[in-house]
């Protein structure tokens, strides 16, 4: 803990996880100097606690930190295997340790103050923000606060699903995986009654890979459930688990909801990461939006402007996601069919850019045209009625 409170800074990062680490790295990349920074988080994130998979253009400054990248990925359904060529994009795997290390390096260069305590309420008087601890003591006074503490949406969504998963980092003594080929989604897994499930494989080399089982749906599994599902998926892949070692286990739960995440709760507080709406409701993908917003924040600070990024996703994408979530949840459309058609009827680059929230309205229309029209129309009408009901209730 720092000796004298409150600490006076220009920028306080409240929450020092994924979003904050990317901001710190971006401040370095933009050569921001002379900015007084504090990071408030009871946990100093280090090591491998998650693996980020995302797509982007090669040559970005994360490249040296990547564990692996692929220019082709497989999407597998019971009907067959599609090999998607991603050119000019590539699918990349970034483990958390180098990101947290990079953030620590930036913190040192910025001479940032690290406060290893939980933050409680924020008080924004329009000029400065006071960050208090849960007992109401002042910890920091800052010109701006970037708050990435996990939180629920402002209002419950009309559909509230979770992306939940378990992955095993599997090590083999002999060549077992094809390092040239990642599996983006493999829908041959038994499908849950409500929701959709898939497996995926991200090989680092021919003897080491992350094999993961994921569900999108309303409820979590128990511990034994995830293990059984992963064993089942390993069987489908033809892997002999008795010949492999589970080196690490990676669990996660990510919200998939049309409930609104408030990105600017007060004039000088900006929410980032999942708390700020960076998680795409229809897929749980978050990383690319966090990266984009971190770059915008650092670019603005370097230019002496307020660190306020553009919204993580355009409103029309959030609406499309609300409709898709509703269609999936109410059983208007099957999850496998939904993703199958998406990949079958669009070039892979368009799908990936759509999932990142960077497609144009014309491209969005093309994506919409590829979805099963009648059931989606039912979901659109249902969504409109749901919105109206929620508005009347408020």
Ligand X SMILES: Cc1cc2nc3c(=O)[nH]c(=O)nc-3n(C[C@H](O)[C@H](O)[C@H](O)COP(=O)(O)OP(=O)(O)OC[C@H]3O[C@@H](n4cnc5c(N)ncnc54)[C@H](O)[C@@H]3O)c2cc1C
Residues that bind ligand X (CB under 6 A): 14-20, 40-43, 45, 50-54, 118-119, 148-150, 250, 252, 254, 273-275, 285-287
The two three-digit tokens of residue 75, written as one number: 């999407």
Q: Report the residue number, 284 or 375, with the smaller CB distance to ligand X.
A: 284
Nearest approach, Cβ of residue 288 and ligand X (Å): 7
Rounded Cα–Cα distance for residues 15 and 272 (Å): 10
Tokens of 29: 């990349």
CA dihedral 297, 299, 303, 306 (to 10 degrees): -10
Q: How far is the CB of 54 from ligand X (least distance, A)?
A: 5
Q: Map tokens 């507080």 to a residue.
A: 269
Torsion sign over Cα 2, 6, 8, 12:
positive
Helices of type H across 153-311: 223-236, 287-302
CA–CA dist 311, 313 (Å, integer): 5
Pick between residue 118 and residue 334 the one whose CB is nearest to ligand X. 118
Closer to ligand X by Cβ: residue 58 or 331:
58
User: How far is the C-alpha of 308 from the C-alpha of 297, rounded, in Å?
Assistant: 6
Going by C-alpha positions, the residue among 8, 11, 18 that lies closest to residue 301 is: 11
Whether 133 contacts 139, CB under 8 Å: yes
Q: Report the candidate in 73, 123, 66 with the shortest Cα–Cα distance to residue 99.
A: 66
Q: Given the complex with ligand X, which of 200 and 343 has the nearer CB atom? A: 200
Can you tell me the distance from the alpha carbon of 5 to that of 3, in angstroms, rounded to the nearest whole number?
A: 7
Alpha carbon distance 106, 35 (integer Å): 12
- Who contacts 3 (Cβ-Cβ below 8 Å, separation ≥6)? none
Q: How far is the CB of 180 from ligand X (least distance, A)?
A: 20
Output 269 or 275, the one with its CB closest to ligand X: 275
Residue 377 beta carbon to ligand X: minimum distance, rounded to whole angstroms: 30
CB burial of residue 369 (10 Å; 0-12, 13-18, 19+): exposed
Which is nearer to ligand X, 14 or 379 (by Cβ)? Answer: 14
Closest contact distance (angstroms) between CB of 22 and ligand X is 8
Our CB check for ligand X shows the closer of 118 and 347 to be: 118
Structure tokens at 138: 């002042």
Nearer to ligand X, 67 or 159 (CB): 67
- For residue 13, give the nearest of 151, 152, 140 by alpha carbon: 140
Minimum CB distance to ligand X, residue 80 (Å): 25
How would you classify residue 15: left for phi > 0, otherwise alpha for psi between -120 and 50, otherwise beta?
left
**Cα–Cα distance between 77 and 79 in angstroms, integer?**
5
Least distance in Å: CB of 122 to ligand X?
Answer: 10
Residue at shortest CB range from ligand X = 17
The residue (of 53 and 162) whose beta carbon lies closer to ligand X is 53
Question: In the complex with ligand X, which residue's Cβ is closer, 251 or 344?
Answer: 251
């Amino acid at each position: 803990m720092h000796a004298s409170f409150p600490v006076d800074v220009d920028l306080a990062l409240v929450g020092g996880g994924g979003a904050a680490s990317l901001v710190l790295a971006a401040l370095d990349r933009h050569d921001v100097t002379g900015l007084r920074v504090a990071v408030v988080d009871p946990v100093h994130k280090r090591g491998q606690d998650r693996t980020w998979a995302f797509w982007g253009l090669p040559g970005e400054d994360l490249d040296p930190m990547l564990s692996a990248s692929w220019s082709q990925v497989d999407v597998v359904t019971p009907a067959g295997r599609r090999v998607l060529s991603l050119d000019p994009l590539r699918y990349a795997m970034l483990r958390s340790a180098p990101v947290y290390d990079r953030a620590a390096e930036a913190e040192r260069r910025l001479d940032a103050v690290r406060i290893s305590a939980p933050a409680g309420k924020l008080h924004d008087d329009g000029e400065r923000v006071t960050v208090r601890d849960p007992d109401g003591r002042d910890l920091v006074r800052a010109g701006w606060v970037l708050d990435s503490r996990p939180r629920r949406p402002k209002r419950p969504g009309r559909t509230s699903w979770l992306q939940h998963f378990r992955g095993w980092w599997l090590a083999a003594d002999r060549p077992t995986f094809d390092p040239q080929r990642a599996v983006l989604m493999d829908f041959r897994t038994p499908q849950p009654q409500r929701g959709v499930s898939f497996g995926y494989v991200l090989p680092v080399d021919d003897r080491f890979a992350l094999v993961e089982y994921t569900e999108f749906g309303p409820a979590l599994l128990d511990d034994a459930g995830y293990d059984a599902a992963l064993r089942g998926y390993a069987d489908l892949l033809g892997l002999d688990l008795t010949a492999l070692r589970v080196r690490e286990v990676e669990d996660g739960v990510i919200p998939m909801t049309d409930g609104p995440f408030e990105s600017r709760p007060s004039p000088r507080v900006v929410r980032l990461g999942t708390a700020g709406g960076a998680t795409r409701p229809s897929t749980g993908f978050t990383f690319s939006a966090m990266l984009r917003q971190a770059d915008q924040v650092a670019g603005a600070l370097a230019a002496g402007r307020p660190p306020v990024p553009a919204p993580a996703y355009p409103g029309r994408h959030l609406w499309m996601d609300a409709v898709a979530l509703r269609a999936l949840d109410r059983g208007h459309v099957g999850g496998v069919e939904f993703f199958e058609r998406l990949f079958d009827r669009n070039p892979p680059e368009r799908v990936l850019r759509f999932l990142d929230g960077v497609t144009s309205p014309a491209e969005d229309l093309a994506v919409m045209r590829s979805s099963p029209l009648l059931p989606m129309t039912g979901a659109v009408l249902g969504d409109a009625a749901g919105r109206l009901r929620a508005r009347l209730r408020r």
